[in-house]
Chains A and B, each alone.
Chain A
Amino acid sequence: MTIDYSENPNQRTPCVLVLDTSGSMQAATANGGTRIGALNEGIKLLEQSLKDDSTALVRVQLAIVTVGGPQNDADLMMDWTDATHFQAFPLRADGSTPLGRGLRIGLQLVEQIKSDLKSSGISYTRPWMMVITDGEPTDNTEEWSKAVMECKDAESNRKVEIFTIGVEGANMSKISELSSKPPLQLEGVKFKELFVWLSASLSAASRSRPGDKLELPSTDPWRHVGM
């Protein structure tokens, strides 16, 4: 953790992205691309949207955990980074889907950033963890159960706000175990729309005041209506 808060003491809204980069994300899309390609385009748009929003730019923090990929494991791909320093980078798809392990890394990161912000005297809103997957978790039963238990515990104790998004092929019933909020299904590969929504939502969260009801933008542009 090397963030120098003296240059920007604004309050923060941290968000960890737990992204499925398993082999199934190499699947071709209708427009001749791949899912991982669409995900990468979406992340680029997230960077741009955050940089176009002067408040979100100085308040949002991101971390990225990948699940699968060339290492065939769950990995911390990008440690906590202020939006102002964030630069999108391409992810590669390969391997299996150890989602449970990825989630546990994500929760660990949430606790880490809260502790870091607290000790630096920086106020913060409740961190978010956004989970995007297109497959079936490949963790063993014990690892998955631990992940489910830790996610539920973190959510019910208001430690983190969890959003679960399933891409076509995701085991929606399995990921619905992670949060009291039902998972949403992405329409096709509308990653761009999803990440524009995420940027706008994080911006709204970063502006929210005590006692305000947080109104998030509509998910209609990217959500599969069949849900």
Chain B
Amino acid sequence: MTNEWLNGGASVVGSSHIETKTVCQDSFEIAYSHDKSWVAVAVCDGAGSARKSEIGSQLVSKAFASKLILLSNEFDTKKPGFWINDFLIQQVLNVREELRKIANSDNLDDYHTTLIACLVGKTGGFVIHIGDGSLVGGVAKQDQEVLWLDSERFISEPQNGEYSNETYFITEPNWIKNIRVTPLPPLDWFLIGTDGGSAFYLNQLNSEKQEFISSFIRDIRLIPPKNWSERIKEILQDKKADPITGDDKTLVFFAKRNFVEAKADLAFKNTAKQETIQTPKKPAEIPEPKVGTSKVNLKTTNKLPLKYRFLSLVFLLLSLLAGIGVHLYMGSR
């Protein structure tokens, strides 16, 4: 019973979508194994620019939650391996085929949606991720009166394009280039959300907002799990949250029952990177404009420092190898 997963979550329409009278394009779906020791959750963020993205996000989240939970039986008898990747890729193909039927077209642009979904049991699991949204979770260890939330920590970060207002969708023709499948360590708690929901618990450097997370979990442990969803909805709808994001917001929290019932206060052991500040410090000095003397030499380029160039080269080589791997894998199918 101690491995039972409890949850609460909500999707709410963002303030900018209220102004434009747009429906909530986020959706999420949860599925449990019989003994509740495994949970599958899929969270999708429909693109604001796509006409029917709420249909895309609903269909994809339902499909993934219902299919991922089926894998929990396999995990009892099989070791993790490449068969998981095969299974996941097949599910993407299936859901895209379903969308094509609804769209009556090969073009799925009207249904653009991101996807982050995971299957988690007592010994860990995996995350499948295309686009933005995120998952943050940890193993909690009790040390006398304190429950350290991050004895082991995991973050599946959002993936954007070069520009921060662009992301990737499962509905794009080149989705295979952007799919990420990552093993999950054993977790005691995790938060999963769309871009709007992530803004509550992740800062712009993609580190967890420790103050929010610890006060959120402290607060939620004080109320019965059946009221968690309502409480999360209140947090997401709080007007004070509008400056954080005007986007639709989905946030789902999961915790093991023994973690929820542990008699100890919460804290983070390892301090995250600096939180994002919304207002800069007062400028110490205002730079004078350069009047008529400064020119840019068209022949020079602003090169990266040597160490970054070296890291870029290593990253490029790794990306190339990964690309070849995916190509060979797809070619062999």
Q: Which of A33-41, A106-114, A185-193 contacts B (4 or more CB under 8 A)?
A: A106-114
A176 on interface, CB distance cutoff 8 Å:
no
B residues near A8, Cβ cutoff 8 Å? 277, 280-281
Task: Judge whether A210 and B296 touch: CB under 8 Å.
Answer: no
A residues near B291, Cβ cutoff 8 Å? 77, 89
Q: How far is the CA of A115 from the CA of B303 in the complex (A)?
A: 8
Task: Judge whether A71 and B292 touch: CB under 8 Å.
Answer: yes
A residues near B304, Cβ cutoff 8 Å? 115, 119
A85 on interface, CB distance cutoff 8 Å:
yes
Task: Judge whether A115 and B292 touch: CB under 8 Å.
Answer: no
B39 on interface, CB distance cutoff 8 Å:
no
Task: Judge whether A111 and B301 touch: CB under 8 Å.
Answer: yes
Residue from B112, B114, B205 in contact with A9 in the complex, judged by beta carbons closer than 8 Å:
B205
A126: nearest residue on chain B (CB-CB)? B163
B308: nearest residue on chain A (CB-CB)? A119
Return the CB mask of B279-314 against A: 1 if under 8 Å, else 0. 111010011011111111010011111001000000
B276 on interface, CB distance cutoff 8 Å:
yes
Return the CB mask of A62-98 against B: 1 if under 8 Å, else 0. 0010000111010111110110110101000000000
Task: Judge whether A210 and B131 touch: CB under 8 Å.
Answer: yes
B165 on interface, CB distance cutoff 8 Å:
yes
Residue from B50, B245, B279, B280 in contact with A209 in the complex, judged by beta carbons closer than 8 Å:
B245
A113: nearest residue on chain B (CB-CB)? B302
Asked, given contacts A9-B204, A9-B276, A9-B277, whether A75 binds B289 with beta carbons under 8 Å apart, the answer is no
Residue from B165, B167, B286, B295 in contact with A76 in the complex, judged by beta carbons closer than 8 Å:
B295
Task: Judge whether A210 and B195 touch: CB under 8 Å.
Answer: yes
Main secondary structure of the interface of B (DSSP, over half): loop
A63: nearest residue on chain B (CB-CB)? B296
B20: nearest residue on chain A (CB-CB)? A215
B169 on interface, CB distance cutoff 8 Å:
yes
Task: Judge whether B298 and A108 touch: CB under 8 Å.
Answer: yes
Q: How far is the CA of A162 from the CA of B295 in the complex (A)?
A: 21
B160 on interface, CB distance cutoff 8 Å:
yes
Task: Judge whether B204 and A11 touch: CB under 8 Å.
Answer: yes
A114: nearest residue on chain B (CB-CB)? B162
B196: nearest residue on chain A (CB-CB)? A209
* Residue tally, chain A, CB below 8 Å to B: 50
Return the CB mask of B224-259 against A: 1 if under 8 Å, else 0. 000000000000000000000111000000000000
B132: nearest residue on chain A (CB-CB)? A210
Task: Judge whether B302 and A1 touch: CB under 8 Å.
Answer: yes
B residues near A69, Cβ cutoff 8 Å? 292
Q: How far is the CA of A215 from the CA of B46 in the complex (A)?
A: 18
Task: Judge whether B277 and A209 touch: CB under 8 Å.
Answer: no
Return the CB mask of B185-218 against A: 1 if under 8 Å, else 0. 0000000000110000000110000000000000
A142 on interface, CB distance cutoff 8 Å:
no
Task: Judge whether B280 and A87 touch: CB under 8 Å.
Answer: no
Task: Judge whether A105 and B296 touch: CB under 8 Å.
Answer: yes
B138 on interface, CB distance cutoff 8 Å:
no
Task: Judge whether A10 and B276 touch: CB under 8 Å.
Answer: yes
B residues near A10, Cβ cutoff 8 Å? 204, 276-278, 280
Q: Most A CB atoms within 10 A — which of B165, B195, B290? A: B165
B residues near A217, Cβ cutoff 8 Å? none
B166 on interface, CB distance cutoff 8 Å:
yes
Q: 13 other contacts beyond A10-B277, A75-B292, with CB at 8 A cut-off?
A: A58-B278, A69-B292, A75-B295, A77-B294, A79-B294, A85-B286, A85-B287, A104-B298, A205-B165, A207-B16, A210-B47, A211-B49, A212-B165
